[in-house]
Structure 1
């Protein structure tokens, strides 16, 4: 019996980038449950659809609101967010409850590798080893997934 694909919400206000991410998500075997371009839309979809993972840009149509979106998805919707942003320095030390970040610009291979890695982490509650290059885990999730003593490859 095969496991169901992970449900992913894409929170990105650049249509071409959102479409590319949706394609990559589905190529890795995930199921895209929706695209959100603003913080209100993202929170509403996350709380209604309960995705396994939300890919969140920091700067959305309504401003640099992605950090608040990730925090709300984590605290109020019970979801896991992953930042996908060129604004890595804007992230708070606690990553707003997100599991980590992939910095832009990113490669197709980098995103696919990171998503495959996160699949194992989310399903098994434990990392299969250090994160792949390009994925930085938040300190809280590194500890949760058993990596607190390992250096991170970024």
Structure 2
């Protein structure tokens, strides 16, 4: 079953590579958002979002992730070179994968996010730091 995945990333070459991998895996890339306005316009079309923190309009990734998860029911996975900026995470989001990311790690992260969106247990990629929000722990006991 295909998932619709939004890429929130302002570096176009990185975004294009992520979209390519998503499509290669059989999922539907719903678009690339380089800022909060674009991300929120595309929110209704997404099941899952891969979100960078620092975008064209500044460090808006955290608020984008929060809005996508809490308002639109999107499964959010952060991908950033600055994972410490997230502290203990954003309620309702899965976790953070530190950049740079290999193609294999990206595929594992997408597979994990798709499984969690469908409420299926899955093993997270090794470098993925999971957030725990009262029953929202990505890897259930």
Under a length normalisation based on structure 1, what TM-score does the superposition of the two structures give? 0.82
CA RMSD of aligned residues (A): 1.9
Larger RCO, structure (CA 8 Å, separation 6 or more):
2
Runs (4+) off by over 3 Å: 143-149
Write out aligned runs for 1:101-112 (5 A): 101-112=96-107
The runs of 5 or more residues in structure 1 that have no matched partner are 150-154
CA contact (8 A) 1:68 1:96 kept: no
What does residue 33 of structure 1 align with? 30
| Residue 128 of structure 2 corresponds to residue 131 of structure 1 | no
Q: Which has the larger radius of gyration?
A: 1
6, 9, 20: which is aligned to 1:23?
Answer: 20
55, 59, 63: which is aligned to 2:58?
Answer: 63
| Residue 74 of structure 2 corresponds to residue 79 of structure 1 | yes
The runs of 5 or more residues in structure 2 that have no matched partner are none
Under a length normalisation based on structure 2, what TM-score does the superposition of the two structures give? 0.89
User: Shift of residue 97 of structure 1?
Assistant: 2.8
| Residue 139 of structure 2 corresponds to residue 144 of structure 1 | no
Q: How many residues align?
A: 141
